[in-house]
Amino acid sequence: MADRRTLIMEAAARVIARRGVRGLRVEELAAEAGVSTALIYYHFKDRAGILRATLEFINDRAERYTTERAADAPPLDARGELRQTLLLELQDTPEVRENSTAWGELRASAVFDPDLREDLARATLVWVQEVTDLLGRVHPMNGAASLAASAERLTALLEGLSVRWLSGSLPVAHARELMVGAIDGELERLRG
């Protein structure tokens, strides 16, 4: 059984995905997690601590579902790993839907919350760096600046496609097709 902190983080991601950051109430979070509000404050001190921890939790969860491979799965080459990592952010599963929705809600709230903005900027930078590293494995002779620019474009597009898919304005299969085209285009650009 998951520890209480993890249960609270899972509940926070659900509540934020369902109600948004502005709709997050500690009492509702406590009820969703099946714990007392005192326990939430014990673990996270305040609402900002809850948001910061939730952002970290959804990043860790995304890292897990985009990098874990079945033990019997054949190894991927660098291009396949890049493609799979990005496309696994566009899978129609409850966990990915919840994670992507919560990420979008946190991003939208960061517009008005400087503390959250800084945390989100750091998380985004880590994500862009991970994609930069994957691109560098495909094209190791490219400079850091061109790899980072490609990673910025791909991650920004992925966020936009995710929002469109989650809001129902784009089927997930089409979002994935567009992402594959963008990956191929960026790799071709880097190949020069």
Give the model confidence (pLDDT) of 137-175 as tens digits: 999 999 999 999 999 999 999 999 999 999 999 999 999
CA distance 98 to 28: 17
pLDDT at residue 71, rounded to an integer: 85
Q: DSSP label at 77?
A: -
Start-end of H helices in 68-113: 78-87, 94-110
pLDDT at residue 37, rounded to an integer: 94
End-to-end Cα, the chain, rounded Å: 51
pLDDT at residue 2, rounded to an integer: 60
CA distance 167 to 97: 11
Start-end of H helices in 21-76: 26-33, 37-44, 47-67
Residue appearing with tokens 């926070």: 12
Give the model confidence (pLDDT) of 75-133 as tens digits: 999 999 999 999 999 999 999 999 999 999 999 999 998 889 999 999 999 999 999 99
Rounded alpha-carbon distances, angstroms, from residue 97 to 37, 90, 91, 167:
27, 8, 8, 11
- Residue 4 is encoded by which pair of tokens? 């209480």
CA distance 185 to 182: 5
CA 161 to chain CA centroid, nearest Å: 13
Give the model confidence (pLDDT) of 37-58 as tens digits: 999 999 999 989 999 999 999 9
The model carries a pTM of 0.89
